[in-house]
């Protein structure tokens, strides 16, 4: 009887610990992260979609959204096909991605009070990334944008940009970024 009770308790603990764990396949990528929440949410995946940058570099994009009702997290994986003549400036693209997105969001909200915005460089998934976050004074809500690159050693060099946009509370977004891991094609 005691062994049965221990097994039941262990099973309950295992279910509780994995309540916020996400493990999704996005095309050739495997995405893992923890939301550190017991709140209900739904996950939607999209892709692939193809595009071309302003400088003519082709890319394939995959999207994952986590809808928590009052909060939303959006993850975008954009794989660039790089040849010897073109390249993507990872640092410049990271900063432009988060700054451009933040400015667009603030512009769309039409808020009269300018939120406090901070930009940070931080490790994400073992790579150097950029995070920009703002807190809106009217409701103390946080909006965060993060971006980082990783490369794969396929015959053609491929750089993948991972972008995360979140309106979840900072504690949940932070846990997601700390636990984020993306495995790309070998």
Reference 34, options 174, 128, 143; nearest CA is: 174
Which range has the worst mean pLDDT, 7-11, 71-75, 89-93, 181-185?
7-11
Query: How much is the average pLDDT of 92-103?
Result: 58
- Determine if the peptide bond prior to 48 is cis (ω within 30°): yes
Summarize pLDDT for 9-36 with one digit per residue, the tens: 333 333 333 457 889 999 999 999 998 8
Reference 160, options 143, 126, 183; nearest CA is: 183
- For position 30, what pLDDT does the model report? 93
Summarize pLDDT for 52-81 with one digit per residue, the tens: 877 777 889 999 999 999 899 999 998 887
Which range has the worst mean pLDDT, 10-14, 116-120, 169-173?
10-14
Q: Which domains does the chain have, with CATH numbers?
A: 20-183 (3.40.1000)
């Amino acid at each position: 009887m005691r062994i049965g009770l221990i097994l039941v308790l262990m099973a309950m603990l295992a279910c509780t610990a994995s309540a916020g764990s996400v493990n999704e396949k996005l095309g050739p990528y495997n995405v893992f992260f923890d939301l550190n929440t017991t709140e209900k949410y739904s996950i939607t995946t999209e892709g692939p979609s193809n595009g071309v940058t302003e400088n003519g570099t082709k890319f394939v994009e995959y999207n994952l959204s986590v809808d928590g009702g009052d909060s939303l997290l959006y993850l975008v994986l954009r794989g660039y096909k790089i040849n010897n003549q073109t390249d993507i400036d990872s640092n410049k693209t990271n900063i432009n991605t988060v700054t451009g997105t933040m400015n667009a969001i603030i512009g769309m909200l039409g808020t009269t009070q300018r939120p406090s915005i901070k930009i940070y460089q931080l490790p994400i998934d073992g790579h150097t990334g950029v995070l920009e976050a703002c807190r809106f004074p009217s409701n103390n809500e946080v909006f965060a944008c993060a971006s980082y690159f990783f490369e794969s050693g396929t015959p053609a060099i491929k750089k993948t940009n991972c972008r995360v946009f979140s309106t979840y509370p900072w504690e949940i977004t932070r846990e997601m970024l700390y636990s984020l891991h993306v495995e790309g094609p070998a």
